[in-house]
A and B are shown apart, each in its own frame.
Chain A
Amino acid sequence: MSGFGNALSSSIGKKFIMGVTGIFLILFLIVHCGINALIFINDGGLTFNVGAHFMATNWIIRAGEIVLFIGLLAHIFQAARLTFENQKARPVKYAEYNGKANSKWYSRSMGLLGTLLLIFLVVHLKDFWVVSRFTGIPTVDANGHEDLYAVMKEKFQDPVRVAVYILAMFSLCYHLLHGFASAFQTMGWNHSKYNGIIKGASVWYSVIISILFALMPIAVYTGLIN
């Protein structure tokens, strides 16, 4: 019998797929946030545009982008499948269910938080990714790089868009608060000597990543950087 297909279609295998793709996306966010944070150098986006140019032209990064989309789609489809199956596992609901007595609301709301993030992702990809990969960035900066920073400045003049981005970062923060530590548990990495570190890293990572991302539209909109 083929062990691998059989393993991945089992209940634990499905968790492994969520966990592995989740950790992969967690690592991606570090890169994404790190490069975007270059705007805080406040040099008119020159350094940021160097980073963006590198990400757009380096072939390893471009190949990685394909892997990223595959990982993202796997995460989304697997989540949808799990949600569907889990609802089938309890056809008759409880009249009275006290979830808050035994678990965090965000651990029970990963599907909702994930759906909000997916909606945000569509908006976000349309705002930046489609522009930089397909329709083209209209201007170049002083170094002759495509001026993605100018695109960012223009997009974040819209207060509605800024608000959507900030709200999405709340979803991201809570999604990560559960997802980060949960991925370790799923992979079986639960050890009394490391659980404290994992838990601490989970909170720090979720909060720092979300705040840094949320500060970007705020800083541009309020003119803190220009």
Chain B
Amino acid sequence: MSTGNMNLTLKVWRQKNNNTKGALVDYKLAGISPDMSFLEMFDVLNEDLITNGEEPVVFDHDCREGICGMCSMFINGRPHGPKDLVTTCQLHMRSFKDGDTIVVEPWRAAAFPVVKDLTVDRSAFDRVIAAGGFISVNTGNAQDANSLPIPKMQADAAFEAAACIGCGACVATCKNASAMLFVSAKISQLALLPQGQPERYRRVQSMVAQMDAEGFGNCTNTGACEAECPKGISLENIARMNRDFASAKFVSEETV
């Protein structure tokens, strides 16, 4: 942990668009405060680049408080950098030392094509959600919440699955670029609640089919996704998805 300002070398992936080949480009940064977030450090870099008449580095970001799931940098071989349970925007420069070289790459997966530099197109996730990650309810007044009793443990498990912000770190870190942690969280958050039951087995089939169609890899249970997830989504969700998938395909009458 550093206290004074730092001098750093950045190796940043620069790529014009998805049709061109990219490369790592070296940048020297001086006087970086340890209290800056990783993205603020990139803001400093971009200010320098703009001042020098160069193209700034394009990267995704939005809320900068760890809840939106937009930031997505692969830092020194790990998604969202070296700290557990944080997103890149919540990673601070005090996690690095003066003189460090930091390699920053975009998420790499066939299903996440690079848009430019560090920004990738994650709309594959949107299409997986659109395939079944919802419940159908009639409009009108919401019924009284107490008319649907839900055990506390069940509600907690659903809430923990719902904490997924869809950033794609699981895909990025998986050696197979598999999206199973994301998809299983989005299936579980509904499968655990009474409101999710009517479409439960249709949902798991549709969402898994869409996941496969998007070209994500196959899970080999290395557990890297769980370890790197900034929201601590558990592998139990993948097991639940597998169980539901087996029930849907081998027992349920309803096939999608």
Contacts and interface: CB of A to CB of B under 8 A. Distances in A.
A1 interface: yes
B175 A185 contact: no
B223 A10 contact: no
B217 A185 contact: no
A209 B244 CA distance: 33
Contacts of B108: 90, 92-94
A16 interface: yes
A136 B159 CA distance: 64
Chain B binding site: helix, strand, loop or mixed by DSSP? mixed
Contacts of A104: 222-223
Sorting the interface of chain B by its residue count into under 10, 10 to 19, 20 to 34 or 35 or more gives 35 or more
B216 to A, nearest CB: 6
Contacts of B250: 3-4, 7
Interface residues of A, number: 43
Interface string B202-224: 00000011011001111111111
Interface stretch (A40-48, A52-60, A187-195): A187-195
Contact of A88 (B110, B208, B240): B110
A108 B74 CA distance: 19
Contact of A96 (B82, B105, B227, B239): B105
B195 interface: no
Interface of B: 11, 13, 24, 74, 76-78, 82, 103, 105, 108-111, 173, 175-178, 180, 208-209, 211-212, 215-224, 227-228, 235-236, 238-243, 245-246, 249-250, 255
Interface of A: 1, 3-4, 6-7, 10-16, 82, 85-86, 88-99, 101-104, 107-108, 110, 178, 181-182, 185-190
